[in-house]
Amino acid sequence: MRNALFSRRDMVWAGGALAVGAALAKPFDAAATEPGGAGPEPTSWVDSAMPEVTHRMIETNGLRLHVAEQGTGPLVILCHGFPECWYSWRHQLPALAKAGFRAVAPDLRGYGRSDRPEEVEKYTILHDIGDIVGLVDALGAKQAVIAGHDIGAPIAWQAALLRPDRFRAVIALSAPFRPRAFGGSVPPTTLMPRDENAVFYQLFLQGPEAEAALGRDLRRTFRAQFYALSGDRPPSAGGGFPAGMMPRKGALLSEPASLPVWVTESDVDVYVEAFTRSGLRGPLSWWRNIDRSWDLLAAFGGAAVTVPALYTAGDRDFVAAVFQQDIARQSSFVPKLRPTIMLRGCGHWTQQERAAEVSAAMIDFLRQL
């Protein structure tokens, strides 16, 4: 039965995603240079590389979030995925601002300059939604449109479902709507296979060894994942991982000879700095709370997203491949869903790989609200 076990397609998808956890090298420091040099963390600043973007630390839901902001007008909140940060929306910030919107991209809790609670249990989807609701308040707005990519997409979907009074529309990239954010009628991790020799990659990400594996060489990790999960990889490339299972002794994934044209070494520098600063404990805690987040959303199983919605994904995105049945039926849970936009030749990094197309689709949707 489809709900009782992972299909072979699921395993192939997950095998691609193992690129994230398979790039290994040397340890990294726990702190990075402050934006203004030595001294206390500033509350606001401008980066000379993107002078139109204002950076601020904002109090919300009992912690501080770092946000990047550009433009004036109706508010649009942009939630990044794993393992990313606000910078994944670097192309949409100016595009939305030019179109007359106020675009705000936070580092989610645990990421970049945002606060990093120590307790693992404080990284459920409801904590993230609470942060974004509080962010809307802190920004002085009554409502916002919420957008999300990768794990940011289920955050956006469920925020719109739970608080349609605060989020007047939702835009999701890569991950389609799934009931209770993670789908299924049993705890998600109970469906994930493991044996004495190998473990399903999401279970690997929940374990303590994931932090060391991903963090030994952050530059190699990001260069490898940006290539391996993109639409630029050869169709035959699979990283050598069988059926989505990660060998318990680990495996190496070679770095690409060159990066795809849509990402530069300077872009990689930003991600390396962000994760050198934050570490990986907070970001990985999302995966350690999959079952708990699913459990916390029990009361909302079967509930519909009642606000207008847009869904966009790449036709070479592993998430779109594994969740193709959810994509086909999500309109039954999202009655105001606009026609799905599938981007030919695009992989997982939707808004970075197809920046102009994604920005145009978002702006067209926003203008119709």
Give the model's confidence band at 117: pLDDT under 50 very low, under 70 low, under 90 confident, else very high. very high
Tell me which of 63-77, 309-323, 351-365 is least confident.
309-323
State in Å, rounded, how far the first CA of the chain is from the last one.
39
CA proximity to 75, closest of 10, 24, 144 = 144
Does residue 240 carry a pLDDT above 80? no
Query: Does 9 have pLDDT greater than 80?
Result: no
Count CA within 13 A, CB hemisphere, residue 367: 11
Q: In this structure, which amino acid lies at residue 312?
A: T
Enter the pTM of the model: 0.88
Quote the mean pLDDT of the chain: 87
Mean pLDDT of the region 38-60: 89
Looking at per-residue pLDDT, the higher value among 253 and 313 belongs to 313
10-24, 168-182, 283-297, range with the lowest pLDDT: 10-24
Per-residue confidence (pLDDT) for residue 251, from 0 to 100 = 55
Which entry of 66, 80, 149, 348 is annotated as an active-site residue? 348
For 289-316, what is the mean pLDDT?
97
Is 150 an annotated catalytic residue? yes
Residues above pLDDT 70, as percent of the chain: 85
Phi, psi angles (nearest 5°) of residue 130: -60, -40
**pLDDT of 254 higher than 80:** no
Please give the Cα distance from 346 to 343 (Å, whole number): 6
Displacement of CA 142 from its chain's centroid (Å): 25
The 10 Å Cβ neighbour count of residue 174 is 26
Contact 145, 170 (CB under 8 A): yes
74: left (phi over 0), alpha (psi -120 to 50) or beta: beta
Q: Is pLDDT at 35 greater than 50 in this prediction?
A: no
Omega cis (within 30) before 83: yes
- Kindly report which listed range (26-30, 107-111, 270-274) carries the lowest average pLDDT score: 26-30
pLDDT above 50: residue 191:
yes
Instruction: Look up 91 and say whether it is catalytic.
Output: no
**What percent of the chain shows pLDDT beyond 90?**
71
Could you tell me which residue, 52 or 23, shows the higher pLDDT? 52
Q: Name the pLDDT band for 32 (thresholds 50, 70, 90).
A: very low
- Examine the pLDDT at 5 and tell me if it is beyond 90: no
Task: Answer with the residue of higher pLDDT: 296 or 257.
Answer: 296
Q: Is the pLDDT of residue 118 over 70?
A: yes
Tokens of 78: 């942009």
C-alpha distances in angstroms, 75 versus 86, 159, 367? 16, 15, 13
Q: How confident is the model at residue 20 (pLDDT cuts 50, 70, 90)?
A: very low
Any idea which of 57-66, 204-213, 271-280, 292-301 has the lowest mean pLDDT? 204-213
Does pLDDT of 6 surpass 50?
A: no
Catalytic residue, candidates 107, 115, 150, 317: 150
What CA–CA distances, in Å, run from 133 to 59, 89, 142, 163?
A: 12, 20, 10, 8
Q: Which two tokens stand for residue 207?
A: 């374990």
Closest alpha carbon to 138 in 77, 97, 95? 77
Find where tokens 């946000």 sit: 67
Stretch 24-30: mean pLDDT: 33
- What three-state secondary structure class fits 88? helix
Are 267 and 87 in contact, with CB atoms under 8 Å apart? yes
